[in-house]
């Protein structure tokens, strides 16, 4: 018997495929991540992330201009500090003259409200030990102390709010930080500043290149007592649910590609914007495979980014975004 159903009829030509495509990428889907350093006139390529550099605040402004030219409206800022600026209390996290605070003020001055600014809120680039929270001695040994970290994180969020951020983005994974930060913002009159919660953040090997880029590798142990166990998906719904109930305005799943199942499940429990972080290791893998001639970079990038959107993301944080838009890959 001849086939009754013929799905191939809908794939005959590019024109037809385009007309029935379910998923599209637009420049406004992207949040471009940037590493900002506290010196002037510096562009410093990052070995582990080919094509990506750290920028001083003055040169960052040109990159934001470059993004705007392609229709990208959103940037996520990460501060990178020399080891000499770090201590056990993460003092530099609340420096109003730190690289992120300066970048926020300058970017706001130049672009006004034509840009949506996000800032990573975490202590790992400010502590001398590289953990995302403060340490405490206990009878069970040294632990990452949840509640004293909350205070520092909230103070860091306030520093960014005062510098003009749109969304502070806590990535530390301490319990209760979204509610704590929300309250701190509100009490200081920053009711209009939002929170993009890194709600579902796994303890992942795919952050490797980022830690070189930001100089934030922990000096002992790993992040498994605060970041999530990759074996768990129900726990992701719990984490997302908590951040939603604590007042997050958007929630994130991170990493993206190895966790598309989790992204799709979180999609089902929230009406808020859902963000996926296509992290440094995901980027580096495609770059390495392309450099080895193993695959076509343009198609691989398009497919990877499309699959993140198809799985349910509204916004994608990706190191590929600018290059992909400039070269017409998406
Ligand atoms: C800070 C932070 C990390 C990333 C984003 N915010 C590193 C980590 O948790 O170790 C990773 C992003 C990436 O790999 O691109 N805690």
Q: Do the beta carbons of residue 80 and residue 213 sit within 8 Å?
A: yes
Residue whose Cα lies nearest atom 8 of ligand 1: it is 207
Segment 78-105, tens digit of pLDDT: 999 999 999 999 999 999 999 999 999 9
7-27 in b/e form (b: 16+ CB < 10 A) is: eeeeeeeeeeeeeeeeeebeb
- What pLDDT score does 20 carry? 98
Instruction: Please report which confidence band the pLDDT of residue 320 belongs to, taking 50, 70 and 90 as the band edges.
Output: very high
Atom of ligand 1 nearest to the CA of 207: 14
Name the residue of 32, 171, 197 to mutate for ligand 1: max ligand atoms within 8 A of Cβ. Answer: 171
Please give the Cα distance from 79 to 94 (Å, whole number): 12
- What pLDDT score does 33 carry? 98
- What pLDDT score does 273 carry? 98
Q: How many domains is the chain partitioned into structurally?
A: 1
309 membership: H or E segment, kind and range: helix 297-310
Instruction: Please report which confidence band the pLDDT of residue 182 belongs to, taking 50, 70 and 90 as the band edges.
Output: very high
Atom of ligand 1 nearest to the CA of 33: 15
- What pLDDT score does 196 carry? 98
Residue whose Cα lies nearest atom 10 of ligand 1: it is 207
Tell whether 50 is covered by a domain: yes
Tell whether 302 is covered by a domain: yes
Distance, CA 17 to ligand 1 centroid (Å)?
A: 37
- What pLDDT score does 216 carry? 93
Tell me what the pLDDT averaged over the chain comes to: 98
Q: Do the beta carbons of residue 5 and residue 17 sit within 8 Å?
A: no
Tell whether 84 is covered by a domain: yes
- What pLDDT score does 93 carry? 98
Mean pLDDT of 235-242: 98
- From the CB of 319, is ligand 1 less than 6 Å away? no
Instruction: Please report which confidence band the pLDDT of residue 136 belongs to, taking 50, 70 and 90 as the band edges.
Output: very high
Tell whether 7 is covered by a domain: no
299-318 in b/e form (b: 16+ CB < 10 A) is: ebbbebbbbbbebbbebbbb
For residue 284, the tally of other CB atoms under 10 A from its CB is: 21
Tell whether 242 is covered by a domain: yes
Residue whose Cα lies nearest atom 5 of ligand 1: it is 171
Marked catalytic residue, from 41, 69, 86, 201: 201
Atom of ligand 1 nearest to the CA of 172: 16
- From the CB of 124, is ligand 1 less than 6 Å away? yes
Instruction: Please report which confidence band the pLDDT of residue 119 belongs to, taking 50, 70 and 90 as the band edges.
Output: very high
Distance, CA 164 to ligand 1 centroid (Å)?
A: 22
Mean pLDDT of 130-136: 97
Marked catalytic residue, from 86, 136, 254, 309: 254
- From the CB of 132, is ligand 1 less than 6 Å away? yes
Q: Is 86 a catalytic residue?
A: no
Instruction: Please report which confidence band the pLDDT of residue 200 belongs to, taking 50, 70 and 90 as the band edges.
Output: very high
Instruction: Please report which confidence band the pLDDT of residue 310 belongs to, taking 50, 70 and 90 as the band edges.
Output: very high
What CATH code is carried by the domain that includes residue 74?
3.20.20.70
Query: Residue 228: which domain range?
Result: 23-326
- From the CB of 207, is ligand 1 less than 6 Å away? yes
Tell whether 253 is covered by a domain: yes
CA angle 129, 134, 137 (to 5 degrees): 95
- What pLDDT score does 117 carry? 98
Mean pLDDT of 255-267: 98
Tell whether 17 is covered by a domain: no
- What pLDDT score does 14 carry? 98
Distance, CA 109 to ligand 1 centroid (Å)?
A: 28
Q: Is 41 a catalytic residue?
A: no
Classify residue 37 by its DSSP letter: E
Classify residue 22 by its DSSP letter: S
Residue whose Cα lies nearest atom 2 of ligand 1: it is 171
Tell whether 15 is covered by a domain: no
Report pTM. 0.98
Distance, CA 217 to ligand 1 centroid (Å)?
A: 10
């Amino acid at each position: 018997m001849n086939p009754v159903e013929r799905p191939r009829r809908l794939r005959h030509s590019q024109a037809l495929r385009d007309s029935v495509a379910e998923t599209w990428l637009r420049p406004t889907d992207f949040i471009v991540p940037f590493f900002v350093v506290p010196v002037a006139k510096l562009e410093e390529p990052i070995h582990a992330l080919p094509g990506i550099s750290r920028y001083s605040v003055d040169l960052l402004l040109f990159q934001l201009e470059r993004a705007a030219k392609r229709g990208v409206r959103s940037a996520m800022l990460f501060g990178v500090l020399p080891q000499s600026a770090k201590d056990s209390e993460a003092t530099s996290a609340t420096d109003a003259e730190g690289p992120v605070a300066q970048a926020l003020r300058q970017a706001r001055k130049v672009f006004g409200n034509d840009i949506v600014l996000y800032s990573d809120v975490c202590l790992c680039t400010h502590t001398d030990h590289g953990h995302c929270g403060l340490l405490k001695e206990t009878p069970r040994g040294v632990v990452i102390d949840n509640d004293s970290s909350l205070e520092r994180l909230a103070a860091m969020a306030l520093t960014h709010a005062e510098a003009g951020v749109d969304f502070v983005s806590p990535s530390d994974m301490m319990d209760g930080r979204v509610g704590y930060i929300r309250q701190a913002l509100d009490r200081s009159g920053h009711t209009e500043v939002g929170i993009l919660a890194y709600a579902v953040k796994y303890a992942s090997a795919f952050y490797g290149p980022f830690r070189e880029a930001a100089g934030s590798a922990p000096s002992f142990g790993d992040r498994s007592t605060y970041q999530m166990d990759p074996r768990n998906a129900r726990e992701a719904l719990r984490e997302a649910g908590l951040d939603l109930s604590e007042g997050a305005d958007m929630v994130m799943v991170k990493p993206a590609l190895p966790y598309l199942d989790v992204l799709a499940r979180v999609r089902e429990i929230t009406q808020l914007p859902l963000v996926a972080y296509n992290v440094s290791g995901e980027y580096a893998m495609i770059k390495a495979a392309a450099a080895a001639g193993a695959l076509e970079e343009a198609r691989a990038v398009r497919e990877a980014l499309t699959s993140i959107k198809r799985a349910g993301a509204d916004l994608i944080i990706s190191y590929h975004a600018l290059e992909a838009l400039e070269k017409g890959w998406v």
